[in-house]
Amino acid sequence: MQEKEWKDLAHIGLWVTDMEETKKFYQDILGFEAPTAKTVVDLESGVKTEIVFLQKGNLILECICQPGTNLPDRGRIEHIAIAAGNIEQAVETLLAKGIVFDGPIVEDKELWDKGVKYVTFRGPSGERLELNEVIR
């Protein structure tokens, strides 16, 4: 892939059990900042999901909390996000290599200053990977 398609690690998605405790730990103890956040409610199930991005330098954690639900047994890492300079071009390149995506590119204008585009797919062991382009 070319440099503009695939750039760097974007963030690590992390399941957490208590968002306030998580923010306090990462912000007050480790010195992270919280540049963006949102809450999503699934219309069918009514399940509320809190999402808070915590950043210190180049390290960004996407903390994901669904109060009252059990965390996955396989671990706390929800996904690994890879920064894309041009997500559409990166998707085309990966499609040509046989990658099957979990769905279409999603554009979310509520995160970061101007929004973000992302799409997910699976690695060979079922690990969840995300291409992520922060809109500048």
User: pLDDT-based confidence at 135, cuts 50/70/90?
Assistant: very high
Using one digit for the tens of pLDDT, what is the confidence trace for 102-127? Answer: 999 999 999 999 999 999 988 866 77
Using a pLDDT cut of 70, give the percent of the chain over it.
90
Looking from the CA of 136 toward its CB, the CA atoms found within 13 Å total: 7
Q: Say if residue 130 is exposed, middle or buried (CB neighbours under 10 Å; 0-12, 13-18, 19+).
A: buried
Q: What is the DSSP string of 29-87?
A: IT--EEEEEEEEE-TTT--EEEEEEEEETTEEEEEEE-TTSPPPTT-SEEEEEEE-SSH
Tell me which amino acid residue 133 is.
Answer: E
Using one digit for the tens of pLDDT, what is the confidence trace for 27-36? Answer: 988 788 999 9
